[in-house]
């Protein structure tokens, strides 16, 4: 019996570690896995997804820049996907797609489990307001953070994310140019893709205190500029998105195959290959 077909959609996608991760999960659990990377431009995403389903595709991950488009294509979604307004995990139900967002759960599991961070009562700065930011914001709030400040180059997108969270006062937006007036934070999360476009980080040192952890949702080369700033700013911890990637993949795997795989061995395998990793899912 052939394996059920799964894939990850994105642009770019050649960098993706998801096929390797799911193959490793399958091998460890004794489950046959057929998981591929499919590159598609935004204007062709809907057609590519339907072609995938017509060819037997039963589940998919979605990465940049398609997470919000995937949400719009679903006939049903989980509550966490609804709060995010973005989908990274698709499951075929009959002739329709059901959507979930496992990014936030993956991030929180990585930070609390693998890195031993207590998120309760923390003041958080979220850089970015696109699909990646929307995916993690609800889970951070559910983990008990005290306050979240959202900053984005396009202020309207930051305002829209704040409105979607539905917690005025606890979640606020600010202008990027006003960062130096925001005080300090225990957690700074980079959910932007500026490093992919050659961007550099020059953030105020006043954002950092003795307890600050800096987290980039990217991994590999795309995480270098932000994590370099974090080290120069003497952040207590700096974390890339590799652990989050593995943990969100495990959440997706569980939905598709009915078992949550162990993640530590897969994370260690990818960390050993870190020198050649580029980009983020």
Closest C-alpha among 136, 105, 103, 125 to residue 172: 125
Q: List the beta bridge partners of residue 91.
A: 59, 98
Q: What pLDDT score was predicted for residue 15?
A: 86
Contact 47, 105 (CB under 8 A): no
As averages over each run of 10 residues, the pLDDT of the chain (281 residues) reads: 90 93 98 97 98 98 94 97 94 97 97 97 96 94 98 95 95 94 97 71 94 95 93 97 97 97 97 58 54
Residues across the chain = 281
**pTM strictly above 0.75:** yes
Predicted local distance difference test score (pLDDT) of residue 279: 41
- Of the candidates 79, 114, 141, which has an alpha carbon nearest to the alpha carbon of residue 250? 114
d(CA 6, CA 91) in angstroms, rounded, equals 9
Q: Is the peptide bond before 65 cis (omega within 30 degrees of 0)?
A: yes
Q: Which of 22, 67, 92, 134 is catalytic?
A: 67
Domains of the chain: 5-102+243-276 (3.40.50.10860), 104-242 (3.40.50.720)
67 catalytic? Reply is yes
Model pLDDT, residue 234: 97
Contact 154, 129 (CB under 8 A): yes
């Amino acid at each position: 019996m052939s394996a059920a077909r799964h894939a990850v959609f994105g642009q770019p996608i050649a960098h993706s570690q998801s096929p390797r991760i799911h193959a490793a999960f399958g091998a460890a659990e004794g489950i046959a896995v057929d998981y591929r990377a499919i590159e598609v431009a935004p204007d062709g995403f809907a057609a590519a997804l339907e072609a995938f389903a017509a060819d037997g595709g039963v589940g998919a991950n979605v990465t940049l820049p398609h997470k919000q488009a995937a949400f719009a294509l679903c006939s049903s979604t989980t509550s966490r996907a609804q709060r995010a307004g973005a989908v990274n995990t698709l499951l075929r139900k009959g002739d329709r797609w059901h959507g979930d967002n496992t990014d936030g759960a993956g991030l929180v599991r990585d930070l609390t489990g693998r890195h031993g961070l207590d998120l309760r009562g923390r003041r958080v700065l979220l850089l970015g307001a696109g699909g990646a930011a929307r995916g993690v914001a609800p889970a951070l709030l559910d983990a008990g953070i005290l306050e979240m400040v959202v900053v984005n180059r396009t202020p309207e997108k930051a305002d829209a994310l704040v409105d979607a969270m539905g917690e005025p006062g606890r979640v606020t937006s600010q202008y990027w140019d006003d960062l130096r007036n925001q005080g300090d934070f225990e957690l700074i999360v980079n959910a932007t893709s500026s490093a992919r476009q050659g961007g550099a980080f020059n953030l105020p040192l006043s954002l950092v205190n003795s307890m600050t952890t800096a987290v980039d949702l990217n991994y590999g080369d795309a995480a270098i500029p932000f994590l370099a700033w974090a080290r120069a700013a003497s952040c207590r911890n700096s974390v890339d998105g590799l652990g989050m990637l593995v943990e969100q993949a495990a959440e997706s795997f569980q939905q598709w195959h009915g078992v949550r795989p162990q993640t530590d061995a897969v994370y260690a395998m990818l960390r050993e290959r870190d020198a050649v990793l580029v980009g983020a899912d």
